Amino acid sequence: MTTRGSGEAVIRVDELRKTYGQTHAVDGVSFDVQPGEVFGLLGPNGAGKTTTVEILEGLRKPDAGSVRVLGIDVARDADALKERIGVSLQTAAVYPKLTVVELLDLFRGFYRRGRPTAELVTLLGLDEKRNTRTSDLSGGQRQRLAVALALVNEPEVVFLDEPTTGLDPAARRSLWDIVRALQSEGKTILLTTHYMEEAEVLCDRLAIMDHGRILASGTVSELVENRFRERSVRFEGIAGLDDARLAALPGVSQVKHENGEVVLFTSDVPATIGAVLATTERLGQEPRNLAVRRATLEDLFLDLTGRALRD
């Protein structure tokens, strides 16, 4: 078994590449995850998150780059790694005819060490469904079962791929509570998501991915607040008001367009708003739906990729 000192990364990914035909699914990705951290890979569908995670789990072989998880070179010794990690894939329909308890017992039997099924059932809030066939579970229950299956072997690292996709808000929140509980048990968690809110709420640090690359990484505050010290002033676009003129307004650092709205990033909100009003008045118009907002991950994503993150 590998020993690791505090501060040494649990996951270390260096220049990872994976190509399918002409598509660079993962195109030079590097990041690391510290012990006890919840680390998020955030990006739209097809960004390469799942491919990256599956390489870390030993399910796919990388074309280039190195991946170490718990000090194990995944490309060389995936079998040793599988004993010590927990995996929740995007789908959870394993053996639909078995009950929750039967399935957990079965998976528990695949590993050398493990956690009692009864304890897992309670932790994941599945007590009432313990003898229900997995095909009869709701989406949220199924997702919790998938997480439970990822915990049967007392893993040190847990991979959750899109754990809340397709869930209603209540089920999503209950899963967030579970992730926090796991973190308080000291587990290191890597999750992928395309929900901004989820990343903001759960992740200590995150990496934003698109087209197989990491565009930015850090804590949410590093990413958003440091990068966007400014706030945004936004209003519906006005004909005759060109970007050059807007960019010259006091305080404005950037001009963007989003869904028909003009978005001005500014370090001096009152000065900018005053100038916007003065300018539009000269054009005989009035800015409609004028609003001021703090920058979010959404803005960051838009800034990084030039497009919005879709659900």
Residues that bind another protein (CB under 8 A): 57-59, 79, 82-83, 87, 89-98, 102, 106-107, 109-112, 133, 149
Strands lying side by side in the sheet with 231-236: 252-258, 261-266, 231-236, 291-294
Please report how close the Cβ of residue 87 comes to another protein at its closest, in angstroms: 4
Within 8 A by CB and 6+ apart from 264, the residues are 232, 233, 234, 246, 249, 252, 254, 255, 272, 276
Name the residue type at position 96. P
**CB 165, min distance to another protein, A:** 14
Give the residue with the Cβ less far from another protein, 110 or 267. Answer: 110
Tell me how far apart the alpha carbons of residues 262 and 242 are, in angstroms, rounded to a whole number: 10
Least Å from the CB of residue 159 to another protein: 9
Q: Which is nearer to another protein, 27 or 102 (CB)?
A: 102
H or E stretch covering 214: strand 213-218
Measured from the CB atom, the residue of 13 and 273 that comes closer to another protein is 13
Three-state DSSP string of 235-293: EECCCCCCHHHHHCCCCEEEEEEECCEEEEEECCHHHHHHHHHHHHHHCCCCCCCCEEE
Q: For another protein, which is the closer residue by CB, 91 or 285?
A: 91
Q: How far is the CB of 227 from another protein (least distance, A)?
A: 36
Query: Among residues 105 and 204, whose Cβ is nearest to another protein?
Result: 105
34/90 with CB nearer another protein: 90
Cα–Cα distance between 119 and 107 in angstroms, integer?
A: 15
Q: Decide whether 111 or 173 has the Cβ nearer to another protein.
A: 111
Q: Shortest distance, CB of residue 99 to another protein, whole angstroms?
A: 9
Q: To which H or E segment does residue 28 belong? A: strand 23-33
Least distance (Å) from another protein to the CB of residue 225?
Answer: 37
Structure token digits, residue 214: 């990491």
Residue by residue, what is the 3-state secondary structure of 215-230?
A: EEEECHHHHHHHCCCC
CA separation for the pair 158, 33 (Å, rounded): 12
User: Quick one: 88 or 193, whose CB is closer to another protein?
Assistant: 88
Helix or strand holding residue 64 (H, E) = strand 64-69
Least Cβ distance, residue 106 to another protein (angstroms):
5
Instruction: Report in angstroms how near the CB of residue 70 gets to another protein at its nearest.
Output: 14
